[in-house]
A = this chain, B = another copy of it.
Amino acid sequence: MQLTSKGRYAVSAMVDLAKHQNTGPITLASISDRQFISLSYLEQLFRKLREANLVESVRGPGGGYTLAKEPSEISISLIMRAVNEEVQTTLCKDEDTGCHRGSRCETHNLWTALGFHIKFFLETVTIQDVCDDKNYIDTLKAVEKSLMQQ
């Protein structure tokens, strides 16, 4: 069970963008250099990020990408979803009727709880937090708190 590199790459690139965009649009080539991600692969990722309205592009010389929102408004979850890296802990198509072959499996609640856990965390942390190299203990506390109100 491995959270793959695709989402990590996308987050790293977005953090890089947040840190450098104060001087105008940032080229993928420079992100590629700093983050050790191939240019072609970045192009693929940024196509999806643009389609998800997380970044804006400027073409031509002096062009590049900028964030479409404030860093504090972009959660890790948004980025992961944009590149099709949504976390999925269950395969149940229909949340209400059950898991497989019509009978709700005994482990359903376990995986749902884990899914909530991860989802809340990724929704709570933003690009801004990562830029600040925030200590995530506070975030985790907030996550637990919101979970307990379920």
Given contacts A36-B100, A36-B101, A106-B12, contact A140 B117 (CB under 8 A): yes
Residues of A contacting B: mostly: helix
Residues of B contacting A8 with CB < 8 Å?
90-91, 107, 111
CB contact under 8 A between A107 and B15, given known A121-B117, A141-B144 = yes
> Is A2 part of the binding interface, using a Cβ–Cβ cutoff of 8 Å?
yes
Say how many copies of this protein the assembly contains: 2
Question: Looking at the complex, which of A44-52, A53-61, A62-70, A130-138 is the stretch in contact with chain B?
Answer: A130-138
**Contact present for B137 and A125 (CB under 8 Å):** no
- The bracket for how many chain A residues form the interface is 35 or more
Whether A136 and B121, one on each chain, are in contact in the complex, defined by CB atoms closer than 8 angstroms, is no
A95 CB, min distance to chain B CBs, angstroms? 16
Which residues of chain A (94-131) have a CB below 8 Å from chain B? 100-101, 105-107, 109-111, 113-114, 117-118, 121-122, 125, 129-131
Where the two chains meet, the residues of A that have a C-beta atom closer than 8 Å to any C-beta of B are: 1-8, 11-12, 15-16, 19, 35-36, 76, 80, 85-91, 100-101, 105-107, 109-111, 113-114, 117-118, 121-122, 125, 129-131, 133-137, 139-141, 143-145, 147-148, 150
